Amino acid sequence: MKFRKKPVLVDAVQYTLGLEDGYACYAIDSGRFAGYHDKTALIPPAFRKEPAIKTLSGFEEIRADDWIITGASGNRYVCSPEEFTQTYEAADEPPHEDEAHAVIEREYRNAIMCIADPAGGESQWDSGCAYGIEFVLNTLGIKIEGVNANVNGN
């Protein structure tokens, strides 16, 4: 039987200095692993070799291009850049910008038609509402051909 991973939003940040919880430490004379130590511990900098974060299974070393992922339950883990790009995609951006633009354009035109008074022969506009819609579109950076594409010379 096969299973698909449920879509879950996670927080992720690429490692930069200061995000570590501690360090993998090694003895200076022999290079022997001396254990993981919290970054607040008084350890000579020469012992600190690799940054590490605390995970459910203890400390895990992290490299400069690795990602630190915080899961839905708050647990953190390290993810390599290769695995990250294969597994995750940005959730901040609309996945289908062209489709979103088409929906906004259609709804804009519908709103404008509702504002117009076709019974008067000429359109009578509720200019406050029309300008409000145009303001929102301009704020979002959306230009609709023949509608707000030439507002303020844009």
Task: Give this prediction's pTM.
Answer: 0.52
CB atoms within 10 A of CB 101: 15
Q: Are 93 and 44 in contact (CB under 8 A)?
A: no
Query: pLDDT tens across 8-31, in order?
Result: 788 899 998 888 888 888 877 777
> Minimal CA–CA distance to 60: which of 74, 47, 48, 76?
76
Q: Are 50 and 27 in contact (CB under 8 A)?
A: no
In the chain, what percentage of residues exceed pLDDT 70? 69
pLDDT value, residue 68: 95
Higher pLDDT, 19 or 103: 19
- DSSP-H helix ranges across the chain: 81-87, 97-115, 127-140
Query: pLDDT tens across 53-93, in order?
Result: 999 988 999 998 999 999 878 889 999 999 998 888 887 65
Q: How many residues does the chain have?
A: 154
3-state helix, strand, coil in the chain (%, to 5): 30, 25, 45
pLDDT value, residue 83: 92
User: Apex CA 18: angle with CA 13 and CA 23, to 5°?
Assistant: 105
pLDDT value, residue 128: 59
Q: How far is CA 66 from CA 8, 30, 62, 151, in A?
A: 20, 28, 6, 45
Over range 101-114, report the average pLDDT.
70
Tokens matching residue 43: 């350890």
pLDDT value, residue 154: 45
- Half-sphere exposure (CA, 13 Å, Cβ side) for 57? 4
